[in-house]
């Protein structure tokens, strides 16, 4: 980290953040500002921890706005994988691209929950799953994705999805993808029926939410996109630009009867307005269930689209937000500015 910060290494952006004790700001590793003495800096794994430690974001490198963007080398790798799903990029080839395998491993582990090689394998299998469901012959799928034997493919497929490829035509899986936003990267999950997950990648509950979804839908998850993911990506861009006030992408939000009622009540809060936890409880006919409403609000798995950020304390204060209060404030600011311009 010391070397990366000293050399302004952009390949480490998003992997850690640097707090400068003498100025009280925190930066990305590639920040162009003058470098402080080593004894005057400390390191943080995520921006949230730097904020909690009392640091404010640097105005030059803007770690909250652009720190979550994929480094150029990572974008290039992902583009190669999408263009050629059968590609196998080994450590030697990574070094030819100027990428240290250890750097790729750390980055993919942090941002995708798996190593780079595991991501490539999961992406190949996800593509294979989609092709089998669309009616492609199994032999063609196996050969088309670089597997040398039927048994090797079947074993890998079963480990990934919990079902043999021959039974995959009537099955589905959770497609997990990365989406860039002005407030940092988000992870989206989609089934064949709609979006079921939209969370900021630094939320502590993210892994638990993925496991809950896998159990609720009885599906495995793997990197991938579908039409719903692409629709969501476009709608989010319009939302952050202030051009969209109502999401139209289909969503799925399984939960207990009470949780579903709370989430449906959130969907009814008009754009540019807020409601209190008490308001929601009264709307549901359970005025004493304020704490239960707050708990269900915090378990919302489809942030922004199901607008849990529009729920505030009775006194008007922001209250809690899984993505961080600074994000909640920014989302409400976006919506209030749009309403004021109408």
The catalytic residue positions are 27, 308
Burial class (CB in 10 A: 0-12, 13-18, 19+), 5: buried
Q: Order of strands, edge to edge, in the sheet holding 17-20?
A: 41-44, 17-20, 25-27, 56-57
| Angstrom distance (rounded) from CA 311 to CA 229 | 26
Positive/negative CA dihedral, 174, 178, 179, 185: positive
CA atoms within a 13 Å half-sphere pointing along the CA-CB vector of 333: 7
Instruction: From residue 66, give the alpha-carbon distance in Å to each of 1, 59, 184, 243.
Output: 19, 11, 7, 21
In this structure, how many other beta carbons lie within 10 angstroms of the beta carbon of residue 245?
14
Sheet with 195-200: strands ordered across: 195-200, 186-190, 174-179, 221-223
Torsion of CA 105, 108, 110, 111, to 10 degrees: 170
Distance CA 169, CA 137 (A): 11
Of the candidates 67, 22, 26, which has an alpha carbon nearest to the alpha carbon of residue 40? 22
């Amino acid at each position: 980290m010391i070397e990366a910060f000293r050399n302004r290494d952009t390949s480490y952006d998003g992997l850690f953040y640097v707090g400068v004790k003498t100025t009280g700001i925190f930066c990305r590793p590639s920040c162009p500002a003058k470098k402080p003495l080593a004894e005057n800096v400390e390191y943080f794994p995520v921006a949230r921890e730097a904020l909690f430690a009392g640091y404010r974001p640097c105005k030059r490198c803007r770690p909250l706005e652009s720190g979550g963007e994929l480094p150029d080398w990572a974008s290039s790798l992902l583009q190669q994988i999408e263009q050629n799903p059968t590609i196998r990029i080994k450590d030697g080839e990574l070094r030819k691209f100027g990428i240290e395998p250890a750097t790729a491993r750390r980055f993919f582990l942090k941002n995708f929950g798996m190593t780079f090689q595991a991501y490539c394998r999961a992406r190949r299998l996800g593509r294979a799953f989609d092709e089998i469901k669309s009616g492609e012959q199994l032999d063609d799928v196996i050969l088309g994705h670089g597997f040398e034997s039927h048994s090797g493919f079947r074993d890998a497929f079963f480990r990934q999805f919990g079902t043999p490829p021959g039974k995959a035509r009537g099955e589905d899986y959770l497609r997990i993808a990365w989406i860039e936003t002005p407030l940092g990267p988000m992870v989206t999950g989609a089934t064949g029926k709609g979006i079921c997950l939209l969370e900021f990648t630094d939320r502590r509950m993210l892994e638990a939410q993925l496991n809950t979804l896998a159990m609720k839908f009885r599906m495995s998850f793997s990197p991938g996109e579908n039409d719903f993911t692409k629709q969501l990506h476009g709608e989010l861009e319009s939302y952050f630009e202030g051009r969209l006030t109502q999401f139209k992408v289909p969503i799925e939000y399984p939960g207990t009867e009470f949780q579903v009622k709370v989430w449906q009540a959130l969907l009814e809060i008009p754009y540019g307005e807020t409601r209190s936890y008490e308001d929601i409880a009264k709307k549901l006919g359970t005025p004493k269930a304020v704490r239960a409403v707050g708990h269900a609000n915090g378990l919302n798995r489809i942030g922004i689209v199901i607008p849990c950020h529009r729920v505030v304390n009775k006194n008007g204060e922001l209250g809690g937000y899984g993505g961080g209060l600074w994000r909640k404030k920014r989302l409400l600011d976006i919506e209030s500015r749009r309403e004021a311009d109408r």
